[in-house]
């Protein structure tokens, strides 16, 4: 119950999800995948952005935001101490925010283009810069750019006079797909599968979705159908999008696991299931990632890469071996965990475009198991 007299329901991040009053219910901002750009409406919490040349990293870790080079040299930082994070109630009494709230602060480029640090409940702690269209990490600095890609703010010591000229960065398959997947799925991870020479409707039919169980729309519209399933059912959103003659199938929970072998009947199906465990004490590390990389051909398992516990089945399969070699892999299981989406694309021989991924989805809800 708030002082205003309204009752509110909050989630684990202290965000308001229901209220008896007229308060605005904030919508959780999508979190970007590993890339160099933070766009309007996206946020970072215990995550980072990396320049395309790999030389510079922007880290958002609780109440600390910093730009560092690969040698760990601090280029810029924006930090708040406990004493600066106090809040005053309507009676003028100052209350310190608890340490947990500080640890869960996040950096966001809001819908108006303002770069801000916020508490988990959406309260603005600090407005760093803005307005801008996107935050981009380049060599030695982070830049806030306008819609015409003009630099409007930079972390460079000399300010705008030292801002590097903007360049259009290439977007790899890994980053392209990560951005798309992360904007749709949440902390439950995902399972992505490319099925060659098979349309979306047939791919979903082989997964048990057909007829009235299928619908077209956005991911949010498909996910809303989970409410129709009884309590206790593990309902997972599954959607498909065409990639030319092939199909990309996305399940919004890594517990869905690799699809049944029959999905690959008469063709090739390449799957990457991945989850990054969220840490309460800091940014996710590589050890917090779990993944399964699986290849089925004509109903038979031909490759399975996993590093916890280790599995290296099929590393000599022609498509897998060629893809790993092209990526410069020195450890197949590790590469599958860190760069599974790119490996999936290379093995399946596809290169998703932003236009293809922005299309209408066909999908529905699959019940994994019932309690």
Domains of the chain with bracketed CATH: 30-162 (2.90.10.10), 173-370 (no CATH)
The more confident residue out of 362 and 18 is 362
Query: What tens digit of pLDDT does each residue of 91-134 get?
Result: 555 445 555 666 778 899 999 999 998 888 888 888 899 899 99
Query: What tens digit of pLDDT does each residue of 150-169 get?
Result: 899 999 877 666 555 555 44
Query: What tens digit of pLDDT does each residue of 278-301 get?
Result: 555 555 455 567 889 999 999 999
pLDDT at 366: 84
pLDDT at 163: 57
Weakest-pLDDT range from 72-81, 141-150, 212-221: 72-81
pLDDT at 85 over 90: no
Q: Which among 249, 255, 246 is positioned nearest to 219, based on CA atoms?
A: 249
pLDDT at 229 over 70: no
pLDDT at 124: 86
> Mean pLDDT in the chain?
79
Q: Read off the pLDDT of each residue in 352-357 and give the average, rounded to a whole number.
A: 73
Q: Read off the pLDDT of each residue in 201-205 and give the average, rounded to a whole number.
A: 95
pLDDT at 53: 79
């Amino acid at each position: 119950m708030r002082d205003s007299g309204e009752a509110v329901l909050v989630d684990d991040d202290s965000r308001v999800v229901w209220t008896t009053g007229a308060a605005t219910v904030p919508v959780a901002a999508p979190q970007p995948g590993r890339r160099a750009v933070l766009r309007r409406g996206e946020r970072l919490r215990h995550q980072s952005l990396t320049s395309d040349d790999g030389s510079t990293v922007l880290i958002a870790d609780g109440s600390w935001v910093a730009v560092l080079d690969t040698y760990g040299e601090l280029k810029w930082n924006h930090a708040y101490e406990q004493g600066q994070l106090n809040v005053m109630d309507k009676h003028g009494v100052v209350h310190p925010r608890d340490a947990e709230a500080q640890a869960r602060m996040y950096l966001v480029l809001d819908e108006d283009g303002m770069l801000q640090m916020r508490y988990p409940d959406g309260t603005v702690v600090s407005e760093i810069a803005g307005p801008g269209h996107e935050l981009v990490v380049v060599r030695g600095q982070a830049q806030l750019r306008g819609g015409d890609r003009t630099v409007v703010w930079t972390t460079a010591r000399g300010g705008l006079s030292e801002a590097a000229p903007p360049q259009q960065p290439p977007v790899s398959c890994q980053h392209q797909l990560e951005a798309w997947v992360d904007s749709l799925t949440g902390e439950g991870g995902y399972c992505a599968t490319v099925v060659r020479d098979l349309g979306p409707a047939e791919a979903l039919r082989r997964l048990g979705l057909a007829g009235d169980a299928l619908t077209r729309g956005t991911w949010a519209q498909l996910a809303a159908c989970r409410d129709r399933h009884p309590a206790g059912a593990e309902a997972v959103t599954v959607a498909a999008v065409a990639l030319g003659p092939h199909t990309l199938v996305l399940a919004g929970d890594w517990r869905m696991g690799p699809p049944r072998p029959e999905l690959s009947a008469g063709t090739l199906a390449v799957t990457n299931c991945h989850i990054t465990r969220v840490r309460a004490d800091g940014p996710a590390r590589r050890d917090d990632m779990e993944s399964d990389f699986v290849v089925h051909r004509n109903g038979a398992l031909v490759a399975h890469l996993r590093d916890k516990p280790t599995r290296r089945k099929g590393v000599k399969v022609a498509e897998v071996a060629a893809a790993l070699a092209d990526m410069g892999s020195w450890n197949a299981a590790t590469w599958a965990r860190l760069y599974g989406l790119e490996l999936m694309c290379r093995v399946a021989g596809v290169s998703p475009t932003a236009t293809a991924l922005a299309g209408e989805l066909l999908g529905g809800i699959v019940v994994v198991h019932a309690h």
